[in-house]
Structure 1
Amino acid sequence: MPRVTDAYLAARRNQVLDAVRACVDRDGLQGATMEGIIGLSGLSTGTVYKYIRSKEEGVEAAMAGALDGLTAELFPLLTADPLPAPAVVVGQLTDTVEKFARHEKYSLLRVAMHGWSAALSSPALLDRTAPPYRSFRDLLRDAAVTWQAGGELRPDADPDDVAASLLSLLMGFAAQQAILGDTSAAQQSRGFAALLAGGSAAGAV
């Protein structure tokens, strides 16, 4: 009997978590069920239960997994050396969010909206998803310090304030795109450049 590889198990787990996301996108958190997840997965009931024991466990794993994956994509953009100008980085970040969220079976941005709502009433989900957001905000703060040292930000700017605003911009972009669907990464970059004190949109992508 052939050995089941780690890669095979990881692929099956991802298949199950993708089914959770698709089910949440289609039916909402309240309407999502294990039956719906199993049907969308294309796997047997026993196989799905091997990876998640309940809808709640599946939602937590699906949300956290997507967030971890996105964070891994965004990390190199904020640790580049040299670090591009703020407006360029905002364009890169929003463009990466936009591309990462694309999936043929669901909208990851709409799934994220459901996840944010659920985290407010689920301590387990909040405990799992809040730390990556805090870590990412720390990266934004480090970027702000770098920009400040290079003269890209005012000397009296508080890097913590800049980081908080940038995180709000990115989360707001995700919400606006999920709800309205009529904004873009390039638009966010241009708008951010225009808002910079004494800046221009010349550095936007």
Structure 2
Amino acid sequence: MARVSQEHLDARRRQILDGAALCFARNGFHATSMQDVLKEVDLSAGAVYRYFSGKDELIAAIVAEVMGELRVAFEDAARQSPPPSPGDLASDVLDRTLAAREVLAVDGQPGFPRLIVQVWTETVRNEELAAVLREGYQAVLAAWIKVVGGYQDSGMIRTDLPAEDVARTMIATVQGFIVQQSLFGPVPTEVLRNGLRALMSMDAVRAAG
């Protein structure tokens, strides 16, 4: 029997993750059964369980993947001198994340924000998922701290305030934007870019006046 290529295995795993994420975004975690996932991806139970033991493992894999992508994006930004401005960086990363998950559209609207909010609420009951999210958050936070350090080294922002405080605030801003998308419908990330640009300009405008 011919061996299955790694490319085929990766593609099948991608198919399962995307199908499960779409089901979760559409109906929520608790209303989605593994039978729903099997129907969505049009695979047998054996084919799916070869990769994932159940819903909890699927959710954890989706979370780990997203957090890993965010960490890499911010680490790449931290290596630039100076890093992109907060507005440009946050909106560009969100744009790429949303574009990479267009498959999650529900009724013509982005499903990714809805999925993320569900993940956050699910961590209240699922300690394993909470641990995955905490680990991912700490990695993203560390990357953002490096970005803020780059801002401080370049004289873009004040140096007398802890970089971690700024990093946590930036993450909270992006999280809040995702919540708005989930609750009130899609909003262009240009809104986030413009808002952060305006806030970053306050001291310069005051000094010029």
TM-score, normalising length from structure 1?
0.87
What's the secondary structure of 2:62's corresponding residue? helix
What residue number does 1:203 align with? none
Q: What pairs up with 1:193-204 in 2 under 5 angstroms?
A: 193-196=197-200, 197-199=202-204
Aligned CA distance change for structure 1 residues 31 and 138 (closer, same or farther; 3 Å): same
Q: Does 1:117 align with 2:121?
A: yes
Q: Is the 8 A contact 1:74 1:96 kept in 2?
A: no
- CA offsets per residue over residues 45-103 of structure 1, 9 Å max, x none? 21112112222222222222233234334432333234233333233233334333432
What's the secondary structure of 2:103's corresponding residue? coil
Give 1:105 shift.
5.1
Take 1:195 and 1:71, find their aligned partners in 2: how far apart are those partners?
A: 24
Aligned length in residues: 200
Q: Does 1:164 align with 2:153?
A: no
What's the secondary structure of 1:14's corresponding residue? helix
| Stretch moving more, 8-17 or 181-190 | 181-190
Aligned CA distance change for structure 1 residues 177 and 4 (closer, same or farther; 3 Å): same
Q: Report the AA paired with residue 32 of structure 1.
A: T
What residue number does 2:23 align with? 23
What residue number does 1:63 align with? 63
What's the secondary structure of 2:141's corresponding residue? helix
Take 1:38 and 1:144, find their aligned partners in 2: how far apart are those partners?
A: 44
- CA offsets per residue over residues 134-156 of structure 1, 9 Å max, x none? 11111111111211121111232
Give 1:24 shift.
0.8
What's the secondary structure of 2:160's corresponding residue? coil
Q: Is the 8 A contact 1:94 1:188 kept in 2?
A: no
Q: Does 1:133 align with 2:168?
A: no
Q: Is the 8 A contact 1:73 1:96 kept in 2?
A: no
What residue number does 2:92 align with? 92
- CA offsets per residue over residues 21-55 of structure 1, 9 Å max, x none? 11111221110101001000111121112112222
Q: Report the AA paired with residue 75 of structure 2.
A: F
What residue number does 1:37 align with? 37
Among 191, 196, 202, the alignment partner of 1:192 is 196
What residue number does 2:50 align with? 50
What's the secondary structure of 1:31's corresponding residue? coil
Take 1:198 and 1:98, find their aligned partners in 2: how far apart are those partners?
A: 32
Give 1:4 shift.
0.4
Q: Does 1:5 align with 2:5?
A: yes
Q: Is the 8 A contact 1:38 1:45 kept in 2?
A: yes
Aligned residues with identical type, % of pairs? 24
What residue number does 2:157 align with? 153
Give 1:199 shift.
4.2
Q: Is the 8 A contact 2:71 2:143 kept in 1?
A: no
Take 1:145 and 1:71, find their aligned partners in 2: how far apart are those partners?
A: 16
What's the secondary structure of 2:137's corresponding residue? helix
Aligned CA distance change for structure 1 residues 127 and 8 (closer, same or farther; 3 Å): same
